[in-house]
Structure 1
Amino acid sequence: MFLKKGKKEQGPSGNEKTIKSFPASKEEVISFFRQQFHSAADLVIKEVCPHLTVLYLEPLIDGQILREQILQPVQNKEIHSLEELYSTLSVGDVNDEKDPEKALESLLNGSTLLHFDGTPRVLLASTPQSITRSLSTPELESQVIGMQVAFNESLSTNIGLLRKLISSTSFCHDQLVIGHQSKSRASIVYLKEIASEELVTAVKDRIQKISIDSLIDTPVLAELIEDNSLSIFPQSILTERPDRVASQLMNGKIAILIDGSSHALLLPNPLIEFFQSKEDQNIRWQIATFLRLLRIGSMVLSIFATSFYVAALTYHYEVIPQPLLVPLGESRSRVPFPPIFETLLLEIVIELLREAGARLPTKVGQTMGIVGGIVIGTAAVQAGFTSNILIIMIALSALASFTSPSYMLGNVIRLLRFPIIIIAGLLGFYGIMLGFCFILIHLLRQSTLGVPYLAPFYPPRYKDWKDSIIRFPAQFLYKRPDATRPQDSYKFPPSEGEG
């Protein structure tokens, strides 16, 4: 994909000049479309009768609809004009078109073009083939309690799933086209009576300013419309769950869906929401609170556990309890490397195993990850390349990174470990504190669609704390988050004395 600022949209060929109106001659019409598609093998041109020409792109059309609702009615009747042809067709959606550019776009979207010789316009019959998979269960966001359906690659199907969950006339989705070549259809979904008009306008403006040849998937769009695309932290949530999107729309959020992508983009999203799972709403509030605290603690552990090991063994032996000092010394007595090199080596090995397992078929990848980890870990200790305690620390750190409900945030946690380990090896605990302060300052400077990234803690919005690190009982969650500036702040009337 290449960003091309200031480039005007072109036709399907990308460099061919198009005509402004259709010629009346069928020979000129056929020549025009062959030139536009460079005589592509899948461009089918049929003369079904002396004055009628049918054109379509074979992979994109439904052959049964073409045969039964277009070709058969036409072949069984003598046609003398385009108006008579229009009344003969039994297909549901037929449009009269004079603009060649719009006709090209319709062909690329699965329409069949019919031209009657001597007429400077065409008929476009909607015959698209449904090229998509059936609905399946979520893979990255699986849960025990709740909806067991995930988005697929069909935009209309995904919009239908959301409409089924939100049966309201306030449900809106505005369609835009992105990409000079791909012509990808994108929908901005929101609730008219709840979502902030300012946020909706901001999202539309950012998308309309995108000048790109091709946009196939939502992660690319997320990077193009983020407040700070240079930040390592994600500023929008990618989700495959329709129920999660529906619940966030009710909170005043905005969702973006792209035809061909099985993930929706939710924004704005402060950092705390990356530690929240849709399942938190379906379980008791005490358990949901415990799980959120566990996830946040796991993130801190995953980032700083191995760096603490490096700092303690390099500069700060005094912080190690005496009962651990002797076994730790014995464990490291055979290791020829300094702690920083030993730790980085093992972290890289863990990442290699994880990446290799992700690229292999599911069953093979799982087996290789388990067996590879055991074999390499045992061999490394026996050969004296590392210590037993570091193996435990690395395994604990890797395990903690998997508790994040967000795949994107999990990747961030994995990457942050490396610079923190390096600075801990150079400056000890002072380096760890310096790294922590740098991360905190970076987070304080970030925003997501104009909303502070550390909301509702900075700036403090105490009423939003009810559903942040902890989750209050459902009867207390009567207000929508103030961060999204919703038009209607209340989900339901508060109980007496709670307003």
Structure 2
Amino acid sequence: MRRRKLDFMDKKPIFPLKIEELKKLLDNKFVNNPDLNFSTHKKNGKDFAIFYIDYQVDVNIMHRDLFEPLLQFGEEVVLSNQSILDTLPLSSGSTSETLDDILNKIIIGEVFIYIENEPAAVSFSLLKKQSRSLEKAETESLVLGPKISFTESLATNMNIIRWRIKSTDLVMEEVKVGKLSPRLVRIVYVKSVANEDDVNTMRQRIEELDVDEIEDSVVLKQYLEDSQTNLFPQFDATELPDRFTYNVTKGKIGVLVENSPTAFLAPSTLFSFLESTEDLYMRWQAGAFLRNLRFIAMIFSIFLTPTYVAAVTYQYAVIPTEMLISIGESRAAVPFPPIFEALLLELLLELLREAGARLPTKVGQTMGIVGGIVIGQAAVDAGLTSNILIIVVAMSALASFTTPSYLFGTTVRLVRFPLIVLAGVFGLLGIVFGLSLLAIHVLRLTSLGRPYLTPLYPLQIKDFNKVFFRTPFSFSSRRAKSYRPKQINRFNLKEAHQKRDIDE
């Protein structure tokens, strides 16, 4: 990360000057840039220039609300910065005195008017906004609940959030990030609920970030995380507005980035990545069952294949006799040790997954299904692997797909590889060693300064019903204490349990 070197003179006032001198300054900055439109005009005895970047500006609005009213000024009107600001039917007018300010504004779609020998140039924001319509979420699918996702338009995303959280307590702070290519960032939180320390920490990290550009919100998330070197994501990323607003009302801090269809939330815990807003839309019994199923599936996905490798390689005694005979018959024609066999199948599965994701949708689905069946059967017939291991690897893959967060699901799959190696070299002892290292690593992690394993560590038993299982809404009167919100109570518990008929 480095700072862009700026000419000191760019930050000093440059006006008043001649129009030719201003054009020369701009030409020096926009070298070989034919998109810079600079035209000179004369009105009421005064020379003035209009300059802007063609493709950044909405030309129709510029001609209608800027050119035409300007050329219709009467002879009695004294052409000046103040008369332009007062007369033109545009509300976004401002003045700039330095070249640096002009450059920063012109590249984000502002049109400048400079009257010769005036102490400043006047500008209006006429940015041509390109945005796609609201569409169904692609990476986070839901059966119940809203299906729309965020778009690349920051204004559209903010509008969706305002539409869902109709409260004056909702705050959307604006910060600019990037020296070479600045982007607008919005810090979103509910001021009556969010912890002030968390808000200040997030604001400070964003404001102190010194980079040339931010490609996407997921990239910004990696810059801001407590540790950039560990495997586990510490901020939760989502493209679903309902998931975003639900977590913001719980006391979390949300961040939106211009030109990014993904938002992220902090602080997050390990268990946040296994939650889905769909749990809220079901009966509490079904929601609790599915949430626990994801916890079990995560453990299953990490340890099933390593356990198979350790048992077949060293610990035969843990396998029932009938199954041991079946495994022996299945592996009779396989010349490779279990560790090589397992790594081969896992890599093959990852190749199929990556190929399916990169190919066009219809072709990718065919590749995933047909490729898995054909290659798996061919591998068994060729004696490269056994039928049982194909079942084990397939079950591990299915279990990893239950994770709502794509980033966390990828982490689960990556953790499996070193455990397979440890299981193949040291057996079950290697799995225990790997699990111990994993536990130590996760215990040391934090998210925005909060423990990553809360409410399990440090222990917050009262938050268990918000993490490990679901209770009826009438019993969920308190927000999670783990996030230390200003208001712990969501509603009055006694009032919620009182049921009144209409005649009462």
Into which bin does the TM-score normalised by the smaller protein fall? over 0.9
Question: What's the offset of the Cα at 1:80?
Answer: 4.9
Comparing 374-383 and 40-49, the one that deviates more: 40-49
Deviation sequence 1:115-165 (CA, Å, 0-9, x none): 112223111012111122111111111212212221111112211111111
Distance across 2 between alignment mates of 1:59 and 1:370: 44
* Cα pair distance change 1:16/1:117, threshold 3 Å: closer
1:32 corresponds in structure 2 to 25
User: Could you tell me which amino acid in structure 2 is paired with residue 408 of structure 1?
Assistant: L
| TM-score, reference length from structure 2 | 0.94
Task: Map 1:53-132; keep pairs closer than 5 Å.
Answer: 53-77=49-73, 80-82=78-80, 83-132=82-131
| Secondary structure in 1 matching 2:467 | coil
Distance across 2 between alignment mates of 1:497 and 1:409: 36
Asked if the contact 2:474–2:496 (Cα under 8 Å) also holds between the matched residues in 1, the reply is no
| Secondary structure in 2 matching 1:472 | coil
Comparing 116-125 and 416-425, the one that deviates more: 116-125
Question: What's the offset of the Cα at 1:279?
Answer: 0.8
Q: Equivalent pairs: percent with the same residue?
A: 41
Distance across 2 between alignment mates of 1:52 and 1:496: 68
| Secondary structure in 2 matching 1:248 | helix
Asked if the contact 1:25–1:119 (Cα under 8 Å) also holds between the matched residues in 2, the reply is no
> Alignment RMSD, CA only?
1.8
Distance across 1 between alignment mates of 2:393 and 2:88: 68
Asked if the contact 1:466–1:476 (Cα under 8 Å) also holds between the matched residues in 2, the reply is no
Task: Map 1:398-413; keep pairs closer than 5 Å.
Answer: 398-413=397-412
* Cα pair distance change 1:22/1:341, threshold 3 Å: same
Distance across 2 between alignment mates of 1:401 and 1:376: 21
Distance across 2 between alignment mates of 1:236 and 1:107: 34
Question: What's the offset of the Cα at 1:47?
Answer: 2.0
User: Could you tell me which amino acid in structure 2 is paired with residue 313 of structure 1?
Assistant: V
| Secondary structure in 2 matching 1:59 | helix
Question: What's the offset of the Cα at 1:18?
Answer: 5.5
Asked if the contact 2:10–2:98 (Cα under 8 Å) also holds between the matched residues in 1, the reply is no
| Secondary structure in 2 matching 1:52 | strand
Unaligned runs of 5+ in 1: none
* Cα pair distance change 1:435/1:198, threshold 3 Å: same
Deviation sequence 1:453-491 (CA, Å, 0-9, x none): 111111111111111111111111111111111111110
Task: Map 1:8-47; keep pairs closer than 5 Å.
Answer: 17=10, 19-47=12-40
Question: What's the offset of the Cα at 1:16?
Answer: 8.7
Asked if the contact 2:15–2:117 (Cα under 8 Å) also holds between the matched residues in 1, the reply is no
Question: What's the offset of the Cα at 1:497?
Answer: 12
Q: How many residues align?
A: 491
* Cα pair distance change 1:341/1:15, threshold 3 Å: farther
Question: What's the offset of the Cα at 1:19?
Answer: 4.5
2:500 corresponds in structure 1 to none
Deviation sequence 1:435-458 (CA, Å, 0-9, x none): 111111111111111111111111
1:164 corresponds in structure 2 to 163
Asked if the contact 1:110–1:128 (Cα under 8 Å) also holds between the matched residues in 2, the reply is yes
Deviation sequence 1:365-415 (CA, Å, 0-9, x none): 111111111111011000111101111111111111100001111000110
Question: What's the offset of the Cα at 1:111?
Answer: 0.8
Question: What's the offset of the Cα at 1:87?
Answer: 4.2
| Secondary structure in 1 matching 2:52 | strand
| Secondary structure in 2 matching 1:250 | helix
Asked if the contact 1:184–1:216 (Cα under 8 Å) also holds between the matched residues in 2, the reply is no
* Cα pair distance change 1:261/1:10, threshold 3 Å: farther
2:502 corresponds in structure 1 to none
* Runs of 4+ with >6 A deviation: none
Deviation sequence 1:31-89 (CA, Å, 0-9, x none): 11222222412111122437121111111111111111112222344675224444442
User: Could you tell me which amino acid in structure 2 is paired with residue 81 of structure 1?
Assistant: L
Asked if the contact 1:22–1:100 (Cα under 8 Å) also holds between the matched residues in 2, the reply is no
Asked if the contact 1:151–1:240 (Cα under 8 Å) also holds between the matched residues in 2, the reply is yes
Distance across 2 between alignment mates of 1:259 and 1:443: 32
Asked if the contact 1:217–1:261 (Cα under 8 Å) also holds between the matched residues in 2, the reply is yes
| Secondary structure in 2 matching 1:467 | helix
Deviation sequence 1:235-279 (CA, Å, 0-9, x none): 110011111111111111100111111111100011111110011
Distance across 1 between alignment mates of 2:72 and 2:444: 70
Asked if the contact 1:10–1:181 (Cα under 8 Å) also holds between the matched residues in 2, the reply is no
Comparing 222-231 and 84-93, the one that deviates more: 84-93
Distance across 2 between alignment mates of 1:309 and 1:409: 23
Unaligned runs of 5+ in 2: 498-504
Distance across 1 between alignment mates of 2:68 and 2:291: 62
Deviation sequence 1:257-307 (CA, Å, 0-9, x none): 111111111000111111100111111111111111111111111111111
Task: Map 1:196-211; keep pairs closer than 5 Å.
Answer: 196-211=195-210
Distance across 2 between alignment mates of 1:332 and 1:15: 73
User: Could you tell me which amino acid in structure 2 is paired with residue 42 of structure 1?
Assistant: D
User: Could you tell me which amino acid in structure 1 is paired with residue 327 of structure 2?
Assistant: L
User: Could you tell me which amino acid in structure 2 is paired with residue 157 of structure 1?
Assistant: T
User: Could you tell me which amino acid in structure 1 is paired with residue 79 of structure 2?
Assistant: S
